[in-house]
Amino acid sequence: MSAVSRPAQSPAVWRGADLGDSTEWATVLTDAQRAEIVDATRAALAAGRDATNLRREDFPLPGLADPLREWTVTLAQGRAFVLIRRFPVELLTEEETELAYVGLGLHLGTPVSQNAAGDLLGHVRDERLPRTGPAVRLYTTNERQDFHTDGSDLVGLLCLNPAKTGGESRIASSLAVYNHILAERPDLLEVLRSPFHWDRNDEQSPGEAPYFTLPAIHDINGTPRIFYIGWYIRDAQRHPGVPPLTDLQLEAMRMLEDTANDPDFYLPMEFAPGDIQILNNAKILHSREAYTDHEDPARRRHLLRLWLTAHSFATVEDMLREGIPPRQV
């Protein structure tokens, strides 16, 4: 059996059913740590900083030095996700909250672009736009997002408001999914290691193809890394020149998705205001259930999203570390 065909062995190989209560994997910020974040935010604002020009040195967090080191180790070498509770959103204005979230993120990595406009801070909320095609990104709707990864080392979500009903986050170990497919259908892993065509969501620059090719599984230093967004692959079928998905490709995609969606594999998380979920995209798949919102716009589900290139580790291939390239005009 080749090195890339052995089962993955890592603390990041886990099943949700085995992780137990959140007290084992959630960090609750203390009052002193919350106050330090508020103070750092207001000092940065007074110095003329905002979410677009803030630097790590502008946002000192000495009281969080030990937790930040622990989170980095957990994300790089451990279970590959963290949940942080009691981020002080209720003590901050909207502008201050955005700045504070970026400030915390800068201690873990460098924000990268999340769309063709080059936005470094994403607003995950229902924009009330009908999804008439891939150009309307799923995260701007209230529809379900199946298990997938994002284009960076780390993805962070800060909850400002939860939905009225639904919207549950679910995460799964991509290495556990890999091991299951290896045990049951190793032939499908070879299919997933072959190139797929991916839609660019109409965000390509002039002269650039509206799709790109990339395998769903890369082997990096002998460790499998799943990069997968099923609807991007299916949406690419709309373009002339993209070959139809084969029966084996469709079967491999279904098995990956069905495994991640098995309640034995995934870990559910209900977000409350001030919760931050940070995931290592090389080792974690994540999904979101469909949701119903409040009618009051001020109470509607709203998360802030960061994509980060990690400072101290890199577990994704280079082309996936820098987010979505801003559109060139």
Q: Of 281, 315, 309, 293, which is closest to residue 108 (Cα–Cα)?
A: 309
Whether 321 and 309 have beta carbons less than 8 Å apart is answered as yes
Query: Are 180 and 203 in contact, with CB atoms under 8 Å apart?
Result: no
Dist CA 87 CA 160 (whole Å)? 10
Q: Tens place of pLDDT for every residue, the chain, 329 residues?
A: 444 578 999 999 999 988 977 778 899 999 999 999 999 999 999 999 998 899 999 999 999 999 999 999 999 999 999 999 999 999 999 999 999 999 999 999 999 988 878 889 999 999 988 777 887 888 889 999 999 999 899 999 999 999 999 999 999 999 999 999 999 999 999 999 999 999 998 888 888 899 999 999 988 878 899 999 999 999 999 999 999 999 999 999 999 999 999 999 999 999 999 999 999 999 999 999 999 999 999 999 999 999 999 998 876 666 667 777 776 66
In the chain, what are the domain boundaries? 22-316
pLDDT for res 2: 44
pLDDT value of position 130:
78
Q: Please name the helix (run of DSSP H) or strand (run of DSSP E) that holds residue 110, with its range, or none.
A: strand 109-111
In 3D space, the residue among 225, 228, 224, 180 whose CA is nearest the CA of residue 4 turns out to be: 224
Q: Write down the residue that tokens 């395998």 correspond to.
A: 215
* pLDDT given at position 156: 98
CATH superfamily ID and name for 22-316 = Clavaminate synthase-like (3.60.130.10)
Using the structure block, give the residue that is written with the tokens 């082997």.
219
This prediction has a pTM of 0.94
Contact 156, 278 (CB under 8 A): yes
Distances (CA, A) of 160 to 15, 86, 138, 211, 295: 28, 11, 19, 34, 16
Confidence (pLDDT) at 151: 84
How far CA 121 is from CA of 103, 218, 299, in Å, comes to 12, 28, 20
The tokens for 257 are: 């998705």
Residue 25: name the closest of 75, 91, 76 by CA.
75
Question: pLDDT digit string (tens) for 201-211?
Answer: 888 888 889 99
Specify the residue for token string 């199946």. Answer: 146
**Please, what is the Cα angle at 164 between 158 and 167, to 5 degrees?**
55
